[in-house]
Amino acid sequence: MNPLCPRCGAIGSIKYGRYHRFDDAQSIQRYRCANCKSCHSSATHTPTYRQKRRRLNRLVEMDIASSTAQRRIAIKHGCARKTVARKVIFLAAEARKKAAKWLEQVGPFNSVQWDELITFEHSRLKPLSVAVMSCTRTRCIIGFGIAPIPASGVISIRSVEKYGKRPNRSGSMRKRVLKSVKQYVSPRAAITTDEHPHYAAEIKTVFPRMIHTQHQSVRGSLTGQGELKRIGFDPMFNINHTLAMMRDNIKRLARCTWCTTKKASSLDDVIAIYMHYHNTTLIPQPEIRVNRYFLSSSE
């Protein structure tokens, strides 16, 4: 079916030749509206409309999710840093749409795990909390959230002196994430967390019938970016392994790195890209539900 006219919305568009797009060497069909006589093409209605370097989209997505800094991506592909930054914003918006569609096909999930990792923006005196929910069986990421938290430990005094009192918005962030993933998680699902004092009440508010199991927090080992634990059997292994993968595959989350996040919104975009790449590429693909039948995504 011929696409609608973007100017007047009429249906009667007719084929009006083709043109060669040099950006990706594609032959694009051109149309002419029979109502207003304006011309458009099959590329007018695509998300990449008017982009100049479409071939970089997939390359930037893979590099961002493969522990590569934006400056190095620009050098690697011979483009400007501003081009990479704009691609990240575009890819994050598309990744959120694709992730929501993918979760609708795979869900609902009957067993999940919930935990947080700590990173920072601009300086270690300005920490951030990243809450992540993953599936226990497949280790796919169901949802995440980012919020500022006050510094703790020996740097707390320096943080207040230099940047003032920092708000703690992790509680409202966790509630927001739990509400956003509610449509993908079964109401009677089993959830496993550590002994965080606020987890039980927050989960009970959003999922009153969920089976909640808490385990004692254990000190991290030297391997696994400090996320894997120093015990033989770890009941939280799947979520800890997922967080370790995030730290290893996202350059700005790695420990002992100089590639830092300057804005929390930029970190949100990068994690959104990684979430889609993680769920569709890095882990074994679960079965996809299509019209009440289960079809393997590898077929």
Tens digits of residue pLDDT in 266-288: 999 999 999 999 999 988 876 65
pLDDT of residue 286: 67
Q: How confident is the model at residue 167 (pLDDT cuts 50, 70, 90)?
A: very high
Looking at the fold, whether 117 and 261 belong to one and the same domain comes out as yes
27: Cα separation from own chain's centroid:
33
Looking at the fold, whether 140 and 25 belong to one and the same domain comes out as no
On the question of pLDDT at 299 being above 80, the answer is no
Mean pLDDT, the chain, whole residue set: 87
User: Is residue 199 one of the residues assigned to a domain?
Assistant: yes
**Which of 30, 87, 31 minimizes the C-alpha distance to 54?**
87
Q: Specify which of 5-9, 32-36, 114-118 reaches the highest per-range mean pLDDT.
A: 114-118
pLDDT of residue 290: 43
DSSP codes joined into one string, the chain: -PPPPTTT--S-EEEEEEEEETTTTEEEEEEEETTT--EEETTTTSTTTT-S-TTHHHHHHHHHTTT--HHHHHHHHT--HHHHHHHHHHHHHHHHHHHHHHHHHH--EEEEEEEEEEEEESEEEEEEEEEEEEETTT--EEEEEEEE----GGGHHHHHHHH-PPP--HHHHHHHHHHHTGGGEEEEEEEEEE--TTHHHHHHHH-TT-EEEEE----B-SSGGGTSBSSSS-TTHHHHHHHHHHHHHSGGGSSS-S--BS-HHHHHHHHHHHHHHIIIIIS---EEEETTEEEETT-
Give the number of domains in the chain: 2
User: Is residue 289 one of the residues assigned to a domain?
Assistant: no
> CA–CA distance from 249 to each of 112, 218, 253, 276, 292 (Å)?
22, 23, 8, 13, 35
Q: How confident is the model at residue 7 (pLDDT cuts 50, 70, 90)?
A: confident
User: Is residue 101 one of the residues assigned to a domain?
Assistant: no
Q: Which residues contact 129 (CB under 8 A, 6 or more apart)?
A: 116, 117, 118, 146, 147, 148, 149, 170, 173
Looking at the fold, whether 198 and 270 belong to one and the same domain comes out as yes
pLDDT of residue 116: 92
User: Is residue 59 one of the residues assigned to a domain?
Assistant: no
Looking at the fold, whether 166 and 29 belong to one and the same domain comes out as no
Q: Which residues contact 101 (CB under 8 A, 6 or more apart)?
A: none
Looking at the fold, whether 127 and 265 belong to one and the same domain comes out as yes
Q: In this predicted structure, which of 71-80, 117-126, 255-264 has the lowest mean pLDDT? A: 255-264
Q: Domain of residue 5: give its range.
A: 1-46
Looking at the fold, whether 166 and 264 belong to one and the same domain comes out as yes
Looking at the fold, whether 249 and 125 belong to one and the same domain comes out as yes
On the question of pLDDT at 250 being above 90, the answer is yes
Looking at the fold, whether 220 and 137 belong to one and the same domain comes out as yes
On the question of pLDDT at 292 being above 70, the answer is no
pLDDT of residue 222: 64
Looking at the fold, whether 125 and 254 belong to one and the same domain comes out as yes
Q: How confident is the model at residue 174 (pLDDT cuts 50, 70, 90)?
A: very high
CB 134 within 8 A of CB 160: no
Looking at the fold, whether 42 and 121 belong to one and the same domain comes out as no
pLDDT of residue 296: 39
Q: Could you give the CA distance from residue 11 to residue 48 in angstroms, rounded to a whole number?
A: 23
Q: Could you give the CA distance from residue 215 to residue 191 in angstroms, rounded to a whole number?
A: 11
pLDDT of residue 217: 77
Looking at the fold, whether 159 and 269 belong to one and the same domain comes out as yes
Provide mean pLDDT across the span 222-235: 72
Q: Which residues contact 96 (CB under 8 A, 6 or more apart)?
A: 272, 276
Looking at the fold, whether 260 and 126 belong to one and the same domain comes out as yes
User: Is residue 200 one of the residues assigned to a domain?
Assistant: yes
Tens digits of residue pLDDT in 18-75: 988 888 888 888 888 888 888 888 888 888 888 888 899 999 999 999 999 999 999 9
User: Is residue 95 one of the residues assigned to a domain?
Assistant: no
Structure tokens at 224: 């696994």
pLDDT of residue 295: 38
Q: How confident is the model at residue 177 (pLDDT cuts 50, 70, 90)?
A: very high
